[in-house]
Chains A and B, each alone.
Chain A
Amino acid sequence: MSGVSPSLAPMRAEFGDAVERHLVSCGDTVVYVRRDRSHDVLAWLKETPSQEFTYLTDITAVEYRDPEQPLEVVYQLRCLDRRADLRIKVALDKRGPLEVRSVWDLWRGADWLEREVYDMFGVTFAGHPDLRRILMWETYSEGHPLRKSFPLRGHFSRSEQTRQALGANPEAHYSMEELSLAEAFQELPADMRERLARGERGFLR
């Protein structure tokens, strides 16, 4: 359990300075990877015969209490045959766009996990086919709950939250894509039908 993961040296040889730094914390190796190469590194780790990190245990993000520190997207990888774990981190400068390439094409397990990180932290995953909120509802407008700037009880007052919850139309509970299938399509409000005709879905452009 102790010591640096044996995957680090070949990673450095393959990707050079795209592998920024590494550390060992509580026996786990953490490798920081540059944002623009993250997908390449993860694909290499998954597909190289000597690595074979075919199992994506988890994707999450960390925001530190210090506002100067970058937000980190965390990939927890596992090689099932060697019983080896590896943690890859991508640091995102909060002044720039919070965007990283999706690994949906490598692991289908990333589908909901990336949606959750998007929902909770506002990190967008380029290339994800269906990046919608998942735990919060699609029209939720208070922001991203796990950001440190988000107060524990939300941005809105309790009365405003209640008003919005009670005032939601039935169609607010369906995505535009789902509504486009409904038999009752002709009975939908005209503005909604127009949006459907334009191919818009949810609040994401």
Chain B
Amino acid sequence: MSRRTVDMALATPGVDAEGRPARIPLRTEPAGVRFDESFGAEHMLVNIGPQHPATHGVLRLVIELEGETVVRCIPHVGYLHSGFEKLGEYRQYNQLIPLTDRTDYLSPMANNVGLALAVEKLMGLEVPERCRVLRVIACEMSRIISHLVWLGTTGIDLGAYTPFLWSFQQRERIYDLQESWTGARLTTSVTRVGGMMADVPSGWTEALRDFTRTFPRTLTEVDTMFTRNAIWIGRTQGVGVLTAEEATNYSLSGPMLRASGVAYDVRKDQPYLDYQTYDFDVPVGEHGDIYDRYRVRLEEMWQSNRILEQALDRLARLEGAPINVEDPRVILPPKSRAMSDMEAMIFHFKQVMEGVKPPIGEAYMGVENPKGELGYYLVSDGTSKPVRWRIRPPSFINLASLPKMCEGALLSDVIAINASVDIVMGEVDR
């Protein structure tokens, strides 16, 4: 493909002469000996989860096995269902933001940004440039921590413990940055409709700059550890394969879709927050297996780091610029003005008591979250509470392809395949 695609030559020991990923079949029976056919003729039902570390949350899989081969995999979700969409109908628009923290809790800042963008689309608001740059930083920091969790936990699932420690060490640094910006490590609630909750504190950009300088070393180490590792390749290449057509048909998004060779990234194809002005590439795989998903996510962390560096340059140029829109309908006036100026006090009162009121209408806003395309679909009837707040959950829709990917795989592959989907149950169940 064109310039947007990072070249991902997969010349690895696990590839045969024609370039197809090779799998060495495990043969346990001595040649010429056939086991009694009646042995294992009955299908067995295996229940995994919901309390199982390898299901990455409260996912439950009921698996029908023939011997060790999966005949059917039936996922059960809903154990973490919190009714956020219902709750949203009883909340004002700015009060939805804390709820978004708790859906995909591995990338809370990116969710906050998505919701603010959706409400701004509904109201036709355009936020100032410094705000857009801060939001890009929030999104890309989230992408890095989310992919680091994915990398670490998937490594553990497949028996590699060390990269987990490396990745969580780096993730901790971003969490510290999140904490000093928003006051919270997880429930960040960093955006507001029409702006940000706060600008970054002094000294913060230097800390992030330091991160972007030293973080690539960890990526290189992980690359050395995994990319050409025979065990890693054996467990991941050719496992859980989805073709480009299947990936599209199953509505997959994010790294799952791109690993199958479909070059669709919301940041490139329906740009928001000026993503079209940043210089970055979108990695696209070709085999659609777990290994390509790993390569895509690893490369995305490099690209996120690049975007962070560019955003930091822009932020330095925009020092002291406003972060909120000049619109008293959505942004609270400063407290000093609200206490001295009649008009400011009225706006303050109306916003606190009634909240932001978008006009009658509806809007769908999709953003490229680490897990895939997160979409917020809002329907407004002109009041301060949405008629409908729909979250298009990328994890939920990606997970729906699990039964297809597990068909005919080995039971041990189910763990690897499930890990490769990169689910977070807070978002699957909402």
Contact = CB atoms under 8 A, between A and B. Distances in A.
A and B: partners?
Answer: yes
Interface of A: 25-28, 30, 54-58, 60, 62-65, 74, 76, 80, 83, 85, 87, 107-113, 116, 120, 133-137, 145-146, 150, 152, 173-175, 178, 181-183
Interface string B359-373: 001111010000001
Given A135-B77, A146-B85, A112 B43 contact: no
A181 B107 CA distance: 39
Contacts of A137: 78
Contacts of B85: 120, 146
Interface in B240-284: 246, 248-252, 262, 264, 269-270
B388 interface: yes
A123 B45 CA distance: 31
B277 to A, nearest CB: 17
Nearest to A81: B264
Contacts of A183: 42, 44-45
Interface in B155-192: none
Contact of A135 (B81, B252, B377): B81
B64 A58 contact: no
A89 to B, nearest CB: 10
For B124, B250, B262, which residue has the most chain A Cβ atoms within 10 angstroms?
A: B250
B90 interface: yes
A174 B46 CA distance: 12
B269 A83 contact: yes
Q: What band does the interface of chain B fall in when counting residues whose beta carbon is under 8 Å from A? A: 35 or more
A55 B248 contact: yes
Interface in B388-430: 388, 390, 392, 396-397, 399-401, 404, 429-430
Contacts of B388: 60, 62-63
Which of A63, A109, A173, A175 gathers most chain B CB within 10 Å?
A109
A76 B248 contact: no
Contacts of B122: 26
B86 interface: yes
B23 interface: no
Q: Is the interface of B mostly helix, strand, loop or mixed?
A: mixed
Interface of B: 42-45, 62, 64, 74, 76-78, 81, 83, 85-87, 90, 121-122, 124, 246, 248-252, 262, 264, 269-270, 361-364, 366, 373, 375, 377, 379, 381, 387-388, 390, 392, 396-397, 399-401, 404, 429-430
Contacts of B74: 175, 178
B379 A62 contact: yes
Contact of A76 (B62, B86, B270, B364): B364
Contacts of B86: 145-146, 150, 152
Given A57-B375, A181-B64, A85 B81 contact: no
Given A87-B364, A135-B78, A181-B64, A58 B375 contact: yes
Contacts of B251: 55-58, 107-110, 113
A136 B397 CA distance: 17
Contacts of A25: 361-363
Nearest to B121: A26
A58 B391 CA distance: 10
Given A26-B122, A57-B373, A135-B78, 11 more contacts: A25-B362, A26-B361, A30-B362, A62-B390, A76-B377, A109-B249, A109-B250, A109-B252, A112-B400, A178-B62, A183-B44
Contacts of B262: 80
A64 to B, nearest CB: 6
A202 to B, nearest CB: 12
Given A62-B379, A65-B387, A178-B62, A134 B78 contact: yes
